[in-house]
Chain A
Amino acid sequence: MTAAAYHDEYPSQANSYLRDGHSLWSWLASTDHKRIAILYAISITLFFFVGAVAIAIVRVELVNPNGQFISDDTYNKLFTLHGIVMVWFFLIPSIPNTFGNFLLPLMIGAPDVAFPRLNLFSWYLNIAGGLFTLYAVVAGGVDTGWTFYTPFSTMFSNSHVLAAAAGVFVAGFGSIATGVNFIVTVHMLRTRGMIWFRLPLFVWSLYATSLVLVLATPVLAVTLLLVIAERWFGFPIFDPTHGGDPLLFQHLFWFYSHPAVYIMILPAMGVVTEVITCFARRRVFGYTFMVYAMVAIAGIGFFVWGHHMFVSGQSPYASLIFSFLSFVVAVPSAIKVCNWTATLYRGQITFEAPMLYALGFIGLFTVGGLTGLFLASIPIDVQVHDTYFVVAHFHYIMVGGSVSAFFAALHFWWPKITGKLYDEAWARFAAILMFFGFNFTFFPQFLLGYLGNPRRYHVYPPEFQVYHVMSSTGASVLAAAYLLPPIYLIWSLLYGKRSGDNPWGATGLEWTTQSPPPTHNFLAPPSIETGPYEYHEKGEAPEAGLRLPHPAQSEPR
């Protein structure tokens, strides 16, 4: 192809995806992965605030040992709502469906995902599921906890279990569609030179996540289907009076729901890798190990579900094996933490807001992971099972880990998504406030649980009040920190400075195209010759003062 023909075929400039149609319909019927990502971002933000309001009421209620405003029933319904909405309508779709959707094709140099219409369909499935669930709330709520444990959910609960379970069932097919789409996209749409071991680690993390989505979600679907069959048609599958086994439900439920934890944390790990390498100006330490660690987490994650059932009456030999495997899955997670730390070593570290979130992630994820080892050892689990210790542990992973990484990603790629720069000072303030508020909320819960306060109870003995008051105070700080980013980010949309294509001086194909990217991502199909994270020559750390420039940021830092 001659140079002239090349220029004829590929334009030198194109409209950004934001300018490609302005009507509501041009968004709701768009098959552009970037617009679908924005649709997801809007819907999960709404769900996030629904779940947050529910738990805010719970935290206010728990200031007083005997409760003060709401009935026991309402209390049960509120924490159930919080769990269901946060797990299935915020955390599971959070990073994969927003940033994953937006960035996966950009990072591998593709014009879109493999099946754009399926991608849009998955959003509608997610919304349909969400509406079912919200209907359950409006109609009177669900009181089973997010886990839908039988026989309570099938035989005794008088709340709207059917609608909620149906909602999660429908949303699950949206997850499967996304997983299929991502797997095929990574296999089939990598651009010239993008071999597997040149993929950015965020792409690897999405690939590992997709494997879990495709293999675990159908098992949840069938489990909920059986709960629906038992409640609706009276099929006694989990009913012990007819010879059924309620414990069977727990096995099937956790066969999905433990891997689901990795659906939430793997993309977060990918995000943190991108952010840390950029703001430390370092190649990632041990790229291949990072890849295998993520694939190992996704794989081993399927064989640890029994650690949720140490006190459910399962065989002690099963408990022994599940305990051992739960320790094994900690190994690749530890490899990742060590490699992030080693990446920082001799780096030229700067503390922009995304970096603050990413560093916060490492600390909080480590605390969450290590307390996970406490819970994986049977003697300690027997002591702290179903106490606030468990609540604190998984919030350190899901909020301290996933949500921190979500905010890291939001700030890191905001200039790429919108073309605008946010206010760095406010963003740093929000990041620090969030870290502080988070620890203030959840660290007291470790103590509470260790002292024996069970979770999910409306009332508690008065000697625990001081910890509950601390936790609730922390939660209000956390709430304030969550309200800040929407304000200054919307402000930046209206009044922010233009960011340029690559404000952070980051590597990666997504930074080589316009900000915001044109509809088909690249004006010409890119090709690459090197791996990701080329921040310095191989084998030597960057010298002080020789950092790659940050083109859009003129002021010295």
Chain B
Amino acid sequence: MSAAALREPWTRLSRQREAATFGMWVFLTSELLFFSGMILIYAACRYLQPAGFLAAARETNVWFGTINTMVLLTSSFAMAVAAQAGDAKLRRLAIACLAATVALGLAFLTIKGFEYREDIHEHLLPGAGFAIATPGAQLFFSVYWVMTGVHAIHLSIGIALVGRLILETARRELPLSSPEIQATALYWHLVDVIWIILYPLLYLGGRS
């Protein structure tokens, strides 16, 4: 079973697992800098336009945001259980939890889609006819759309990766001991952690 998971150039599966998780951590460091760039822009723009940022942050839909935070945190829990179940060779539980992860991820995107529809309806897309007149409000919503958009792309990639894990595990092409499950779990948690930072930045400003 473990022979199927072993890939060149590795001679031992334990070593390969270590490399896969280590490689994923290095990649996540890179991802962290990617989002840090955006958070820096948020900070700089907020410093330049504090009034506009507070006025605009009040207009985001805090209900959608909060529900989505809970959905994503739960998905991370399911992913963590799936990874542990994979280690413990509990095939059924692992597949069920991976499926729950994908379902919650899709739920997040659906809720986000409804939220986007509402935002566009309320003219919160920067450009002509933008709803808030305070200077700097358009900056906030530029950052809002880019940050949440990039996050949604990351989440979609995550859903595709977990979906692939489900298919391959169910068809028994991928053994439960494969390092891919651990590495994908790490990626999923990063997408979750990023959201935990985005949530207060985008939804809780200006609402005391």
| B9, B31, B146: the one within 8 Å of A235 (CB) | B146
- Cβ of B52 within 8 Å of any chain A Cβ, yes or no, is yes
Assuming the contacts A176-B27, A237-B41, A252-B40, asked whether A111 and B9 have C-beta atoms less than 8 A apart, the reply is yes
| B15, B22, B143: the one within 8 Å of A237 (CB) | B143
Provide the residues of chain A in CB contact with B31, threshold 8 Å: 218
Provide the residues of chain B in CB contact with A236, threshold 8 Å: 126, 138-139, 142
- Cβ of A469 within 8 Å of any chain B Cβ, yes or no, is no
Which A residues from 102 to 145 make CB contacts under 8 A with B?
105, 110-116
- Cβ of A309 within 8 Å of any chain B Cβ, yes or no, is no
Provide the residues of chain A in CB contact with B18, threshold 8 Å: 188
Provide the residues of chain B in CB contact with A520, threshold 8 Å: 9
Provide the residues of chain A in CB contact with B45, threshold 8 Å: 237, 243-245, 248
Q: Is the CB of B142 within 8 A of A229?
A: yes
Which A residues from 21 to 76 make CB contacts under 8 A with B?
31
Chain B, residue nearest A173 (CB): B30
Q: Is the CB of B44 within 8 A of A245?
A: yes
Cβ distance A155 to chain B, nearest Cβ, rounded Å: 14
Provide the residues of chain B in CB contact with A187, threshold 8 Å: 22
Provide the residues of chain B in CB contact with A244, threshold 8 Å: 45, 139, 142
Provide the residues of chain B in CB contact with A116, threshold 8 Å: 8-9
Name which of A10-18, A220-228, A325-333, A533-541 contacts chain B. A220-228
- Cβ of B69 within 8 Å of any chain A Cβ, yes or no, is no
Bound-state Cα–Cα, A237 to B18, Å: 41
Which A residues from 191 to 230 make CB contacts under 8 A with B?
214-219, 221-223, 225-226, 229-230
Q: Is the CB of B142 within 8 A of A180?
A: no
Cβ distance B104 to chain A, nearest Cβ, rounded Å: 27
Q: Is the CB of B37 within 8 A of A184?
A: no
- Cβ of A296 within 8 Å of any chain B Cβ, yes or no, is no
- Cβ of A447 within 8 Å of any chain B Cβ, yes or no, is no
- Cβ of A234 within 8 Å of any chain B Cβ, yes or no, is yes
Which B residues from 109 to 160 make CB contacts under 8 A with A?
125-127, 135-136, 138-139, 141-143, 145-146, 150
Assuming the contacts A215-B33, A242-B139, asked whether A252 and B41 have C-beta atoms less than 8 A apart, the reply is yes
- Cβ of B2 within 8 Å of any chain A Cβ, yes or no, is no
What sequence of 0s and 1s flags, for each residue 22-36 of chain B, a beta carbon within 8 Å of any chain A beta carbon? 110011011101111
Q: Is the CB of A235 within 8 A of B142?
A: yes
| A112, A219, A248: the one within 8 Å of B44 (CB) | A248
Classify chain B's interface size. 35 or more
- Cβ of B61 within 8 Å of any chain A Cβ, yes or no, is no
Provide the residues of chain A in CB contact with B35, threshold 8 Å: 222
Assuming the contacts A235-B145, A236-B126, asked whether A221 and B9 have C-beta atoms less than 8 A apart, the reply is no
Classify chain A's interface size. 35 or more
| B9, B33, B138, B143: the one within 8 Å of A242 (CB) | B138
Q: How many cross-chain pairs have Cβ atoms below 8 Å apart between A and B?
A: 117
Bound-state Cα–Cα, A245 to B38, Å: 14
Summarize B's interface: helix, strand, loop or mixed: helix
Q: Is the CB of A237 within 8 A of B142?
A: yes
Which A residues from 142 to 189 make CB contacts under 8 A with B?
176, 179-181, 183-184, 187-189
Q: Is the CB of B23 within 8 A of A214?
A: no
Provide the residues of chain A in CB contact with B170, threshold 8 Å: none
Bound-state Cα–Cα, A250 to B29, Å: 23
- Cβ of B84 within 8 Å of any chain A Cβ, yes or no, is no
Cβ distance A307 to chain B, nearest Cβ, rounded Å: 19
Provide the residues of chain A in CB contact with B27, threshold 8 Å: 176, 180, 214
Assuming the contacts A221-B34, A243-B136, asked whether A114 and B9 have C-beta atoms less than 8 A apart, the reply is yes
Q: Is the CB of B26 within 8 A of A184?
A: yes
| B19, B37, B141: the one within 8 Å of A218 (CB) | B37
Bound-state Cα–Cα, A336 to B48, Å: 43
Which B residues from 77 to 113 make CB contacts under 8 A with A?
none
- Cβ of A6 within 8 Å of any chain B Cβ, yes or no, is no
Bound-state Cα–Cα, A184 to B136, Å: 43
Q: Is the CB of A219 within 8 A of B33?
A: yes
Chain A, residue nearest B136 (CB): A243
Bound-state Cα–Cα, A219 to B29, Å: 12
Which A residues from 402 to 440 make CB contacts under 8 A with B?
none
Assuming the contacts A176-B30, A180-B26, A214-B30, asked whether A242 and B135 have C-beta atoms less than 8 A apart, the reply is yes
Cβ distance B207 to chain A, nearest Cβ, rounded Å: 21
Provide the residues of chain A in CB contact with B143, threshold 8 Å: 237
| B29, B52, B138, B146: the one within 8 Å of A229 (CB) | B146
- Cβ of B74 within 8 Å of any chain A Cβ, yes or no, is no
Q: Is the CB of B34 within 8 A of A218?
A: yes
Cβ distance A545 to chain B, nearest Cβ, rounded Å: 43
Q: Is the CB of A243 within 8 A of B52?
A: yes
Q: What are 6 A-to-B residue pairs whose CB atoms are below 8 Å?
A: A176-B30, A214-B30, A215-B29, A219-B37, A243-B135, A252-B37
Q: Which 9 A-B pairs have the closest CB atoms?
A: A235-B142, A218-B34, A222-B37, A112-B9, A111-B9, A243-B136, A218-B33, A184-B23, A243-B49
Given contacts A116-B8, A245-B44, 20 further A-B contacts (CB under 8 A): A111-B9, A114-B19, A114-B23, A180-B23, A184-B22, A184-B26, A188-B19, A214-B30, A218-B30, A221-B34, A222-B37, A229-B146, A235-B141, A236-B138, A236-B139, A243-B136, A243-B139, A244-B139, A244-B142, A248-B45
